[in-house]
C-alpha cells in the first residue's frame, strides 16, 4: 500500500505530526510518500518516485482549505483523500488530533467508506475551472452591486442585483453559501445550490436544483471586471457582457469517511448546535 502525506507548511504542528504518522504507517508496512520539496522533512519518499495510479490514499494535514488545495494541485492523482483537522471547523478534515492512531488503524483495516461527492465545472472563453465546494461570482473591486443574469437549461431565471452569486455543491453548502444564507445539503445529494450574496431584492432567495441542469451566468453591468473563483483558489476574470457556463463535472471528489465519524454528528458539533434529547 502507498499513502501520500501532505503537511501544511503554515501549520507549525504539521511536519512533526507528519513524521509521527510516517513512522506509524511504515511500521504497518505502508510506503509513505510526500511532495518532493517536503518529503525529506518528514523522512518520506518523494512523490515522483511512485506512479500516481499506484497511490492508494492521500492524507491531508491541516483543515478543509488544505484538503481543497491538495485536490486542485494534484488532480492527476485519483486516490481518495482523508483529512486530519489542524484547523477550525473541518467538515471534510474531521479527524481530531487525539484520534489519529485509531483512525489510521481503521483505515488500514478497511473500516471506512469512500464517498463519491459531486464536483462542478465552469467554462468560458477565458478558460476552465473545477470546484469541489463552490464557484463564486463576486463584484471584486467594484463599489456598487453588480447585475448577473441566470439561465437554467437556456430558460431565463432571474437577474440578480447583488454582491455576487455562489454556485455550490452539497459539499460546499457548509462553506461560503451557508454564510450567505444558503441551506445545508446532505453531501450525498446530487444537487446544486444557487445562493445570491447580499441581494438588493429581499425576495431573491437561494435555489436548489438537481445537478443535471446547465447554468449560464452573464455579467451585465458596465463596470470593472469581476472575479469568478473556484473553491477560493483558481480564478477567471469576467468582463461586462461575458458569460460562464456551469455544469456538474464528470470527475467526482473522493472523500474517505471512517465508520466512527458520522456526518450529522460532525455537523452538530462543528456548528455548535445546543439542542438536547429530553
Check whether residue 155 and residue 214 sit in a common domain.
Answer: yes
Q: Which pLDDT value is given to residue 33?
A: 97
CB 77 within 8 A of CB 33: no
Q: pTM score > 0.85 for this model?
A: yes
Q: Which pLDDT value is given to residue 278?
A: 75
Q: Total structural domains in the chain?
A: 2
* Beta-bridge partner residues of 95: 84
Residue 263's SS3 state is helix
Q: Is 277 within the bounds of a domain?
A: no
Check whether residue 111 and residue 124 sit in a common domain.
Answer: no
In the residue annotation, 163 being an active-site residue is answered as no
Q: Is 182 within the bounds of a domain?
A: yes
- Rounded to 5 degrees, φ, ψ at 186 are -60, 135
Q: Is 129 within the bounds of a domain?
A: yes
Q: Which pLDDT value is given to residue 61?
A: 92
Check whether residue 133 and residue 200 sit in a common domain.
Answer: yes
**How many whole angstroms separate alpha carbon 175 and alpha carbon 233?**
14
- Rounded to 5 degrees, φ, ψ at 262 are -105, 135
Check whether residue 162 and residue 175 sit in a common domain.
Answer: yes
CB 145 within 8 A of CB 163: yes
Q: What is the CATH number of the domain that holds 167?
A: 2.60.200.30
Q: H-helix or E-strand containing 233?
A: none
Q: Is 159 within the bounds of a domain?
A: yes
Q: Spell out the per-residue pLDDT of the chain, length 278, in tens.
A: 999 999 988 887 889 999 999 999 999 999 999 999 999 999 999 999 999 999 999 999 988 999 999 999 999 999 999 999 887 767 888 788 888 999 999 999 999 999 999 999 999 998 999 999 999 999 999 999 999 999 999 999 999 999 999 999 999 999 999 999 999 999 999 999 999 999 999 889 999 999 999 999 999 999 999 999 999 999 999 999 999 999 999 999 999 998 877 778 778 877 888 887 77
Domain that holds residue 52: 2-117+252-270
Check whether residue 31 and residue 81 sit in a common domain.
Answer: yes
Check whether residue 151 and residue 235 sit in a common domain.
Answer: yes
CB neighbour list of residue 138: distance below 8 Å, 6 or more residues apart? 163, 164, 197, 226, 227, 228, 229
Q: Within a 10 A sphere around the Cβ of 65, how many other Cβ atoms?
A: 21
Closest CA relative to residue 137, chosen from 196, 93, 184: 196
Check whether residue 226 and residue 201 sit in a common domain.
Answer: yes
Check whether residue 76 and residue 12 sit in a common domain.
Answer: yes
**How many whole angstroms separate alpha carbon 25 and alpha carbon 9?**
21
Catalytic-labelled residue, pool 48, 64, 153, 227: 64
Amino acid at each position: 500500500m502507498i499513502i501520500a502525506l501532505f503537511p501544511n507548511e503554515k501549520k507549525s504542528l504539521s511536519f512533526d505530526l507528519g513524521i509521527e504518522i510516517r513512522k506509524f504507517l511504515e511500521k504497518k508496512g505502508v510506503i509513505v510518500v510526500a511532495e518532493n520539496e517536503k518529503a525529506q522533512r518528514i523522512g518520506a519518499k518523494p512523490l515522483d518516485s511512485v506512479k500516481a495510479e499506484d497511490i492508494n490514499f492521500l492524507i491531508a494535514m491541516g483543515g478543509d482549505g488544505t484538503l481543497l488545495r491538495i485536490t486542485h494541485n494534484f488532480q492527476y492523482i485519483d486516490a481518495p483523500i482523508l483529512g486530519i483537522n489542524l484547523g477550525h471547523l473541518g467538515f471534510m478534515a474531521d479527524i481530531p488530533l487525539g484520534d489519529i492512531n485509531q483512525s489510521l488503524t481503521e483505515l488500514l483495516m478497511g473500516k471506512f467508506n469512500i464517498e463519491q461527492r459531486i464536483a462542478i465545472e465552469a467554462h468560458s472563453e477565458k478558460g476552465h475551472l473545477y470546484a469541489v465546494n463552490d464557484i463564486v461570482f463576486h463584484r471584486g473591486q467594484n463599489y456598487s452591486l453588480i447585475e448577473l443574469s441566470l439561465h437554467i437549461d437556456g430558460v431565463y431565471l432571474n437577474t440578480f442585483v447583488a454582491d455576487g452569486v455562489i454556485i455550490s455543491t452539497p459539499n460546499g453548502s457548509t462553506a461560503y453559501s451557508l454564510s450567505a444564507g444558503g441551506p445545508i445539503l446532505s453531501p450525498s445529494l446530487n444537487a446544486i445550490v444557487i445562493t445570491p450574496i447580499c441581494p438588493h431584492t429581499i425576495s431573491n432567495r437561494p435555489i436548489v436544483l438537481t445537478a443535471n441542469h446547465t447554468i449560464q451566468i452573464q455579467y451585465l453591468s458596465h463596470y470593472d471586471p469581476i472575479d469568478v473563483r473556484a473553491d477560493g483558489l483558481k480564478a477567471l476574470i469576467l468582463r461586462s457582457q461575458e458569460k460562464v457556463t456551469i455544469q456538474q463535472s464528470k470527475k467526482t471528489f473522493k472523500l474517505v469517511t471512517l465508520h466512527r465519524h458520522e456526518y450529522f454528528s460532525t455537523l452538530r458539533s462543528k456548528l455548535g448546535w445546543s439542542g438536547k434529547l429530553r
